[in-house]
Amino acid sequence: MSKYKLVLLRHGEGTWNKENRFCSWVDQKLSEDGVKEAQDCGRLLKEQGCKFDLVFTSILSRSIQTAWLVLEAMDQEWVPVVKSWRLNERHYGALIGLNRAEMALQHGEEKVKLWRRSYDITPPLIDESHPYYLEIYNDRRYTTCDVPKENLPRAESLKEVLDRLLPFWHSTVVPEIQRGKTVLISAHGNSCRALLKHLEGVSDEAIANVTLPTGIPVQLELDENLKPLKPRQLLGDQAKIQAAIKKVEDQGKAKQAT
Ligand SMILES: O=C(O)[C@@H](COP(=O)(O)O)OP(=O)(O)O
């Protein structure tokens, strides 16, 4: 029998997900479809009888808004929510704001796949000339982090995401799970992939083939050492989930932006 249940969730579709642009640390709200995805996710979790004691989110609006909508749909709005920059999406550096399909045309699909899914390749760093540099680094939310603003990342590989996420996981999330709390982590495609890699011991090579669609809860059943007792379960209609995974993967295929 499983000791603990943990649910990881990539937020509902954001406005830049829809436009196929690398969103990363730019703060975008959910699209209309993204709101619906989050509400559907909450309804599904309610139907499954899921009762959360604690929710963790990043400090990006799309993950926070998703957590609110999920809790509202579950009639569990009272559940405490804790936010940390350490659950933020991977910092995509100079790629932020660019269209994936156009990048694939310019640099090739393989290169875009390496940037998006490899474990230890860091994309080109963002610098002050980047159109979104000031929007990110002048944002007041980054004065609340547990590291000085100058030490925040300028781009990250998945490995670097895991390196900044793990201290928070061990110091803050793990003790709550071990106290018996059922936890929802409402975060991002790559912060959830990093955590899955850690929990499931996915190899550096195999993690390249793990893709998470928006708004689909990933349920993990863990033993007392927080090791998975069975394979992760993506909850919902499996044919729709497979189609949604393919859609995310196909975002990196070469075509002109429309
Ligand atoms: O930064 C982004 O644009 C996406 C991930 O992009 P890919 O790694 O899928 O290219 O993150 P999220 O929508 O989960 O916040």
Mean pLDDT of 21-49: 98
Ligand 1 site residues, Cβ closer than 6 angstroms: 10, 14, 17, 22-24, 89, 92, 116, 188-190, 248
* Within a domain: 43: yes
What is the number of structural domains in the chain?
Answer: 1
Give the CATH number for residue 22.
3.40.50.1240
* Within a domain: 95: yes
* Within a domain: 168: yes
C-alpha distance from residue 197 to each of 32, 76, 119, 216 (Å): 31, 29, 10, 18
Which residues are part of the catalytic machinery?
11, 89
pLDDT band with cut points at 50, 70 and 90 for residue 255: confident
Question: What domain range is 130 assigned to?
Answer: 4-250
With the most atoms of ligand 1 within 8 angstroms of its CB, the residue from 10, 16, 89, 195 to mutate is: 89
What is the residue with the minimal CA distance to atom 7 of ligand 1? 116
Q: What's the chain's average pLDDT?
A: 97
* Within a domain: 257: no
Q: What are the pLDDT digits (tens) for 80-122?
A: 999 999 999 999 999 999 999 999 999 999 999 999 999 999 9
CA distance 208 to 47: 32
CA distance 32 to 41: 14
Which atom of ligand 1 is nearest to 192's Cα? 14
**From the CA atom positions of the chain, what is the Rg in Å?**
17
* Within a domain: 152: yes
Which atom of ligand 1 is nearest to 22's Cα? 3
Which atom of ligand 1 is nearest to 62's Cα? 15
Which atom of ligand 1 is nearest to 248's Cα? 9
* Within a domain: 256: no
* Within a domain: 89: yes
- For the chain, what percent of residues have pLDDT higher than 90? 98
Gap from CA of 3 to ligand 1 centroid (Å): 31
CA distance 52 to 151: 34
With the most atoms of ligand 1 within 8 angstroms of its CB, the residue from 114, 188, 250 to mutate is: 188
For the question of an ipTM over 0.90, the answer is: yes
With the most atoms of ligand 1 within 8 angstroms of its CB, the residue from 8, 18, 22 to mutate is: 22
* Within a domain: 255: no
Q: What are the pLDDT digits (tens) for 210-252?
A: 999 999 999 999 999 999 999 999 999 999 999 999 999 999 9
